[in-house]
Amino acid sequence: MALLWILLLPLLGTLVPLMAAKQGRSLIALLTAIAPFVALVLLLLVAPGVFNGQVLATSFNWIPSAGLDLALRLDGLALLFALLILGIGLLIILYARYYLSAKDNMGLFYAYLILFMTAMLGIVLSGNLLQLWFFWELTSVSSFLLISFWSHKSEARKGARMALTVTGAGGLALLAGLLLIGQIVGSYDLGEVLASGDLLRNHAAYPIALVLVLLGAFSKSAQFPFHFWLPHAMAAPTPVSAYLHSATMVKAGIFLMARFYPVLAGTELWFLIVSMTGLMTLLLGAYVALFKHDLKGLLAYSTISHLGLITLLLGMNTQLSTVAAVFHIINHAIFKASLFMAAGIIDHESGTRDMRQLNGLWKYMPYTATLAMVAAASMAGVPLLNGFLSKEMFFAETLDQVTLGSLSWMVPVLATIGAVFSVAYSARFIHDVFFNGEPIDLPKTPHEPPRYMRVPVEILVALCLLLGIFPAYLVGPLLSLASSSVIGGELPYYSLSIWHGFNLPLLMSLLAMLGGLAIYRNRRHLFRFQALFPEPDAKVVFEGAVQRFVAFCALLVGKLENGSLQRYLFLLLLAALILMAGPMIDLNATQGHVSQLPIDAVTLVGALLLGVSALATVLLNRKRLVSLIMLSVVGLLVSLAFARFSAPDLALTQLSVEVVTMILLLLALFFLPQSTPKESNPRRLVRDLSLAGLIGGVIGTINYAMITRPLSSISDFFLENSYSGGGGTNVVNVILVDFRGMDTLGEIAVLGIAALGIYKLIVRMRLYMPSTNSQGLPWSPDKHPVMLAIVSQSLLPLALLVSVYIFLRGHNQPGGGFIAGLITSVAIIQQYIAQGVDFVKQRMRIDYQWVVGSGLFIAVLTGLGSWLFGRPFLTSWFDYFDPPLVGKFELASAMLFDLGVYLTVVGATLLILANLGKLTTSHSPAIKEKG
């Protein structure tokens, strides 16, 4: 339970600074510190148990199906890291209180910082692989926030982005690796995973898993070649650098390697990848650090090289090297954190971090200088300081390294060279800043920092000394505990004494000292030599690379999505062709076994006319009006075909729709060019023709194959139940209003919505009307020819009567609400054509929108009516009445439904056409637009 709180407290703690943001800065800092402090206390309380050799663990189910549990696990390694995270974290909080200026948003900063702390704790305490990854990514994110804290600075943004991208990518690799491990082991529980090392190492996928996990670790721990992001993360406020980029986050990668050491290490592959990467990084970092003029830059590269050192140690596959690694983790955390803080103080008090300006600060801040010098000495590995001890162990390990066979001698040599440079840059840190003449035009005159800003540094430096002098007592137990949980077994013998007598490691240390000092003394030449090489700015390179890639993507996308509908349609239709043609190829016999109808002359002629007029529509398509007339011929013939093949309702519908469509097309054509320019090049034409031909062919074939095969369908049911169950003899109509009433409801909804949408379009439309026709003749002045007006208006009542007739008989004979509606609208449109919009508008003031609405409403309501009788939506009701002298007649809910259809159709068509007509009339409808 305590474990949970150790994690939860800081999490809740993130809210504290946010809520306290209005308070004074010291108070914020104090309040912020409470949660981590309590967590630390809790940790120390549970620590004894761990020292007694048990592994504390608690776990709760979270998302079992994903294998993700909230599982906490505290062993030696976790304890060590948790201590570092919380301990140094608290110091950082104190330090940041003084580092941040008044204009920085302190609450936010602390919130981010604690969030990060939580994430780190989550990593080290987690007992479930997925949960580990969860917190791993959380560190990337929170560090992004911290690095970009001064978001107005370009380098802060870029640095943060770079860090996020690199570590994020690593995180994805890690996820893959962890999932793979989980798959191999069959569980994501860390305990089980750690228990199945052999299974893993012998599994075929081991190399992949290893590489993936290491990618994660290396990217996080800034190992070559992923090291480049770390220096640019220095754009962060120094407390962040001290915490994330020395003590904790960059150690997460190390932690990961240590964590999985028992199951992944011990193979050739592990040695080669890990140790060689480590060595490379060690040398590179140490060398580059020397040439950095920025204090933090120097420290950053030194961090890189020390991380390389630890990695190298972990890679060397011997138990002692592992112990050394763990020991150096501790030491590096301590001295590097203090160095960063010192650097921060210098920066804070002198206004710059450039060592070319910073000189002889000893005079101004002797106390800080002393602290910094001790820490730097420890970094250089000077005896009596903690850095010295782990470095000795390191040298010792390099010496009995045999895996490289006859080349093994290289390891100690290269290690020494690395050490030489680390001495050199440490020397520079000391001499170039605190001595070496007078400061050169500093922004401020430096002086000692506020009392409490120094305290953290003092504590850490004290630790450097104490650990350096009494290692065995102070760090011995913790070290052995942590190391044993890394090795996962009995520890080898090792002594933490300062003096092992004169031996090779000591000699190497001495060489390093002297060599380092020598190099620093003659640095001018080295700097001059280094100046010959251009110094690439990783930020620029990285950004450039990303931008080039983005541009490339944009190019590709532009090529693909070239905004040409013709291409899109072509692809769509081509896909359709392929998908339909594929199966049809397998079909061996196109013709089925159903006896076919004989061809009669009339139908033959009809087909001929249909074909010819369709072709004419295409061939004459550039003369738009002509092709429009042709189109309506096609429509006419199609409806004749429907009539021919015993579908009178379809014939009627097709006829009326076709005429309304034509009127619509005419209205539109008036505002469009009267002819289509010739712009398709021959290749395009051939392409389209062949595609069209092929699709037509395939559709025709399918159609033929289909209708020459027998069909047993559900329709018999409709024929049988139409009268008894639907109360109508016109089965088609009964299907429409009863069996499949929902389709009809949807269909009229579509019509109504279309009308609304079209009205939307029209209201905002600005079109000029052409002053002459295509021949250049002016329009006839005779707006409303007399004869047309007279005849149309006398036809109107007749037409309405007919539509009533069609409507009423619909249920039993061809007809119905839809056709009736179209007849009505056509009749009214005829009035518009003959008499004009204004004439009609003045005389019949109907808001067609309401007609549409009420039509739909009636239809829906009719459907809902059946609810009153406890029947489902659209359940129809009908009955026959036979009152005296009126005669037998039927009443059916379907008729009411059909009335809804009727109204919707009328409303929709008129809403469209009438408003389209208004388009060129004086009053523009745009006034209606507002609300």
Partner 1 sequence: MNWIDLIAAVFILIGGVFILIGSIGLIRLPDFYMRLHAPTKATTLGLGSLLMASMLLFTSNNDYFSIHEILITLFLLITAPVSAHMMAKAALHVKTRTREGSKGLKVRDAAQNRSKPEEG
Partner 2 sequence: MLDWALLLVSGGVCIALILNLWRLILGPDLPDRILALDTMYINSIALIILYGIHMGSPLYFEAALLIALLGFVSTAALSKYLLRGDIIE
Partner 3 sequence: MEANPKFRLLPMPTHSLLLLVVWLLLNNSLAPGHLLLGAFLAVGIPLLVAPLQLAQPSSKRPLLAMRQVLLVMGDIIKANLEVALLVIGPLSRMQPGFVAVPLSIERELPITLLASTISLTPGTVSCELSEDRRFLYVHVLNLVDEQELIATIKQRYEAPLKEIFGC
Question: Which of Na ion, partner 1, partner 3, none binds 241 (CB below 5-8 Å, type-dependent)?
Answer: none
Phi, psi of 355 (to 5 degrees): -70, -10
By CB under 8 A, the residues from 402 to 431 that bind partner 2 are: none
Q: Pick the closer one to partner 3 by CB: 501 or 883.
A: 883
Task: Give yes or no for residue 780 binding partner 1 (CB under 8 A).
Answer: yes
- 558 or 770, CB closer to partner 1? 770
Fill in the amino acid letter for 7.
L
Q: From CA 422, how far away is CA 428, in angstroms rounded?
A: 10
Residues 239-258 interacting with partner 3 (rule: CB under 8 A): none
Under rule CB under 8 A, residue 729 binds partner 3? no
Whole-number Å distance between alpha carbons of 86 and 41: 10
φ/ψ region of 161 (left if φ > 0, alpha if ψ in -120 to 50, else beta) reads alpha
Task: Look at residue 777 and give the partner it binds from Na ion, partner 3, partner 1, none, a contact being a CB closer than 5 to 8 Å depending on partner kind.
Answer: partner 1
Q: Which stretch binds partner 2 (CB under 8 A): 78-86, 390-398, 415-423, 643-651?
A: 643-651
Is the CB of residue 804 less than 8 Å from the CB of residue 796?
no
Enter the tokens of residue 833: 């054509």
Stretch that binds partner 1, among 157-165, 654-662, 769-777, 893-901 (CB under 8 A): 769-777
Q: Which of 489, 770, 785, 797 binds partner 1 (CB under 8 A)?
A: 785
Q: Tell whether residue 564 is a contact of partner 1 (CB under 8 A).
A: no
Distance CA 323, CA 495 (A): 11
Residue among 679, 782, 879, 882 that touches partner 2 (CB under 8 A) = 782
Structure letter (DSSP) for residue 675: B
**H helix runs in 186-202, sequence order:** 190-195, 197-202
Q: Are 752 and 859 in contact (CB under 8 A)?
A: no
Rule CB under 8 A: is residue 662 a binding residue for partner 2?
yes
Stretch that binds partner 1, among 46-54, 524-532, 652-660, 774-782 (CB under 8 A): 774-782
User: Which among partner 3, Na ion, partner 1, none contacts residue 773 (Cβ within 5 to 8 A by kind)?
Assistant: partner 1
Which stretches within 265-409 are classed as H helix?
268-270, 276-291, 295-315, 319-350, 366-380, 386-399
Among 212, 834, 858, 892, the residue binding partner 2 under the rule CB under 8 A is: 834
Q: Does 643 interact with partner 2 (rule: CB under 8 A)?
A: yes
Nearest CA to 42 out of 82, 12, 13 is that of: 82
Number of neighbours of residue 340 by Cβ within 10 angstroms: 31
Rounded to a whole number of angstroms, the minimum distance from the CB of residue 836 to partner 3 is 12
- Is it true that the peptide bond before 225 is cis, omega within 30 degrees of 0? yes
List phi, psi (to 5°) of 3: -55, -45
Residue 886 touches which of partner 1, partner 2, partner 3, none (CB < 5 to 8 A by kind)? Answer: partner 3
Q: Given the rule CB under 8 A, which of 96-104, 218-226, 519-527, 655-663 is the region that contacts partner 2? A: 655-663
The residues with which 123 forms a beta bridge, in sequence order, are none
Q: How far is the CB of 568 from partner 1 (least distance, A)?
A: 39
Residue 804 found at the interface with partner 3 (CB under 8 A):
yes
Count Cα atoms within 13 angstroms, Cβ side, for 99: 27
The reply to whether 836 sits near partner 2 by the rule CB under 8 A is yes
Residues across the chain: 931
User: CA–CA separation, 391 vs 241, rounded Å?
Assistant: 23
Minimum Å gap between C-beta 725 and partner 1 is: 28
**Any contact of residue 778 with partner 3 (CB under 8 A)?**
no
CB 804 within 8 A of CB 819: no
Options 597, 601, 711, 786; binder of partner 2; rule CB under 8 A: 601
Q: How far is CA 287 from CA 57, 218, 519, in A?
A: 43, 19, 11
SS3 (DSSP) at 716: helix
Q: Go through 275-296 and write b for each residue having 16 or more CB atoms within 10 A of its CB, e for each that does not.
A: bbbbbbbbbbbbbbbbbbebbb
Q: How far is CA 822 from CA 638, 661, 728, 754, 829, in A?
A: 18, 11, 22, 16, 10
- Provide the minimum distance between the beta carbon of 889 and partner 3 in the complex, in angstroms, as a whole number: 6
Residue 844 contact, options partner 3, partner 2, Na ion, none, Cβ 5-8 Å cut-off depending on partner type: partner 3
d(CA 540, CA 70): 41
With CB cut-offs between 5 and 8 Å by kind, which of partner 2, Na ion, partner 3, none does residue 355 bind? Na ion
To partner 3, the closest distance from the beta carbon of 781 in angstroms equals 8
* Binding-site string for partner 3 from residue 818 to residue 857, where x marks contact by CB under 8 A and - marks none: -------------x---x---xx-xxxx------------
Please tell me the distance from the alpha carbon of residue 379 to that of residue 460, in angstroms, as a whole number. 13
Q: Which stretch in 8-16, 165-173, 762-770, 776-784 sits in contact with partner 1 by CB under 8 A?
A: 776-784
Smallest distance, partner 1 to C-beta of residue 609, A: 13
The H or E element spanning position 892 is strand 889-892
| Residues binding partner 1: number (CB under 8 A) | 13
The H or E element spanning position 887 is: none
Q: Which is nearer to partner 2, 275 or 639 (CB)?
A: 639
- Residue 736 engages partner 2 in binding (rule: CB under 8 A): no
Would you tell me how many other CB atoms lie within 10 Å of the CB of residue 177? 26
CB 310 within 8 A of CB 325: yes
- Bridge partners of residue 63, in order along the sequence: 68
Closest distance to partner 3 from the beta carbon of 701 (Å): 45
Q: Fill in the amino acid letter for 864.
A: L
The 8-class DSSP code of residue 890 comes to: E
Q: Which of 553, 672, 790, 861 binds partner 3 (CB under 8 A)?
A: 790
- What span, in angstroms and rounded, lies between the C-alpha atoms of 519 and 530? 13
Q: Please, which of residues 429-448 interact with Na ion by CB under 5 A?
A: 432
Give the whole-angstrom CA distance, residue 786 versus residue 802. 25
Query: Between residues 402 and 885, which has the closer beta carbon with respect to partner 3?
Result: 885
> Which partner, Na ion, partner 3, partner 2, none, binds residue 58 by CB below 5 to 8 Å per kind?
none
Residue closer to partner 2, measured from CB, 478 or 637: 637
Nearer to partner 1, 534 or 781 (CB): 781
d(CA 400, CA 575): 67
Q: Residue 102 or 777: which CB sits closer to partner 1? A: 777
Burial (CB < 10 A; 0-12, 13-18, 19+), residue 780, is: exposed
Residue 814 is a binding residue for partner 2 (CB under 8 A) = yes
Binding mask 346-375 for Na ion (x = CB under 5 A): ---------x--xx----------------
Is residue 864 a contact residue for partner 3 (CB under 8 A)? no
Phi-psi category of residue 647: left, alpha or beta, with phi > 0 → left and psi -120 to 50 → alpha: beta
**Residue 842, contacted partner among partner 3, partner 1, Na ion, none, CB below 5-8 A by kind:** partner 3
| Choices 111-119, 169-177, 181-189, 644-652 (CB under 8 A): range interacting with partner 2 | 644-652
> What span, in angstroms and rounded, lies between the C-alpha atoms of 526 and 515?
14
Q: Give residues in contact with partner 2 (CB under 8 A).
A: 601-602, 605-606, 608-609, 612-613, 616, 620, 625-626, 629-630, 632-633, 636, 639-640, 643-644, 648, 651-652, 655-656, 658-659, 662-663, 666-667, 669-670, 769-770, 773, 779-780, 782-783, 785, 788, 792, 795, 799, 802, 806, 813-815, 819, 823, 826-827, 829-830, 832-834, 836-837, 913-914, 916-917, 920-921
Q: Give residues in contact with Na ion (CB under 5 A).
A: 355, 358-359, 432, 917, 920
Q: Give residues in contact with partner 1 (CB under 8 A).
A: 773, 775, 777, 780-782, 785, 787-788, 791, 794-795, 798
